[in-house]
Chains A and B, each alone.
Chain A
Amino acid sequence: MTAALALEQATRTFRNGSGIFDVDLELTSGQIVALVGLNGAGKSTLMRVLLGMLRPQSGRALLNGDDLDSAPMSAWARVGHLVEYPLAYGELTARRNLELSARLRGVADVTAAIDRVITEFALEQYADRRARALSLGNRQRVGVAAALQHDPSTIVLDEPTNALDPAGVIRLRESLLRRAADGAAILVSSHHLDEVARIADRIVVMNAGRLIGNLAPDTPEIEHAFFEVVRAHDEKRDEERGEKVGS
């Protein structure tokens, strides 16, 4: 089966030397992949390359098997994403912002889609408030709702639980589980390991721009296991650097 979104040996670096290196990742239908890593590990960069916000310097980023540049635009209508800031314009109400996102994704019945997602994320009492007047958490809810309202078959969310209250976190979790069960391919980044362990089929660990291993979601003391993987990778890098300096 062709992956919905995929990276093949993708490398994208910045002038300061940070970036992502030789990343291989596939998002497939019905699976939730959690991307975990410390701040600065490269999670957001990976997601940006995956969504075409950054072009890889080597390797490929693919949507349904096509390079992002040559993928048909219509294929993007089935993708939902929230990377960094929610697409919520301060001067517009929550409902208007949702309408804007829906229209830009070519949703056929905009009103029905908005009504559904407002109920799903309990946004009724905030729907007619301007986004500027919403709390950070509620604004995030609007952003998540905007990313999911068109029932995408591929979902990429960067730290979606940021600023969400516990009720919002539960609603998001249920929404993602239901969407995965309906066949969506999902990538979620987080630094809350317990949170992602509850919903992920696969947990991918990222460190210093590289995918360094997987954790089984049912790993006992998962945080401890995570730090072990990261520490082992850091030590290996230190050794390699030492060898380079020594040689």
Chain B
Amino acid sequence: MDTIWSLGARYCVRQDAHAFMWLWGLFLALAGAALIVRGRGRRFGAGVLLFFAACTGVLGFVILYACYASAPYSMGLGAPSVSAVSLTTLMCLSQDAFSKATGWTIVVLSCSAALGLIAWGRSRGRTALPRACSYVGAALLLLVAVAAGFGAVFVFSWCSSSRLF
């Protein structure tokens, strides 16, 4: 059985290699951006970027763990100690990892751009019109982020329900 689990981890890395590389690149880009922003004295922005970087890492590990924990069972190996609901959740979490990575990237980029726009609009010397435009742009970007997040939750729920029934 140990061989199966060890092979399962490698199988998951191969299956979702593009998603993991994408998330690794996003993690590094966010951490690097946080360092640059912190160097310019903007601690809040750096903190937000670091938070996004940490969430990116967590997402990668969750996808890998979910695939690792369900791979042998999804290929027909009996799972007497795992409940059907847990197995369904694990399979839905690991399924279509690249779409999840893309959705998360949209959320992160939209939120970061919205924060940047708000910071730009709040800086000194802005007249009312550019400030209003930056706030409206930030609101639209946040809307995009919310829509992407809702889409991800909806797809996960749909997957869970269609597997259960």
- A and B from one assembly? no
Task: List chain A positions with a Cβ less than 8 A from chain B.
Answer: none
